[in-house]
Amino acid sequence: MSPQSPVSTANPAPTSGQEHAVISRQVVVATPIGLHARPAAVFCRAAASQPVKVTIGTPDGSSADARSMLSVLGLGVRGGQEVTLTAAGDDGDGAQASVDALAELLATDLDA
């Protein structure tokens, strides 16, 4: 299965009385075993280092804070599955860069 090219979208959504862009990007998980154990740990550490909260979601509508190892494991993301990464924030918050960095990470084999 060839990975689909990532898509990035920005949609305005009100947060705490201010307008923030909601940045979303879809990416296919390249690690054959999916986000299990070591690959999930690598991904969650990278998410925890981002300046904004990033959420990872599956096609069935389930989602989790990308910084939470247990929550990410609970999603049961498999290799080759498409997930959506989402973050809210302004350009100065680093939301787009955070989503892009984590998407690039998922597009590589984290178990290699």
What is the tens place of the pLDDT at every residue in 15-35? 445 567 899 999 999 999 999
pLDDT tens string 31-89: 999 999 999 999 999 999 999 999 999 999 999 999 999 999 999 999 999 999 999 88
Can you give the pLDDT at residue 10? Answer: 45
Q: Which residues are catalytic?
A: 36
- Asked if the model's pLDDT at residue 110 lies above 70, the reply is yes
Side by side, the strands of the sheet bearing 7-15 are: 7-15, 18-28, 82-89, 54-57, 63-65
Task: Report whether 69 contacts 40 (CB < 8 A).
Answer: yes
Distance CA(53)–CA(87), nearest Å, equals: 6
DSSP conformational letter for 80: T
Give the predicted TM-score (pTM) of the model.
Answer: 0.82
* Full set of structural domains in the chain with CATH: 7-106 (3.30.1340.10)
Distance of CA 93 to the CA centre of its chain: 16
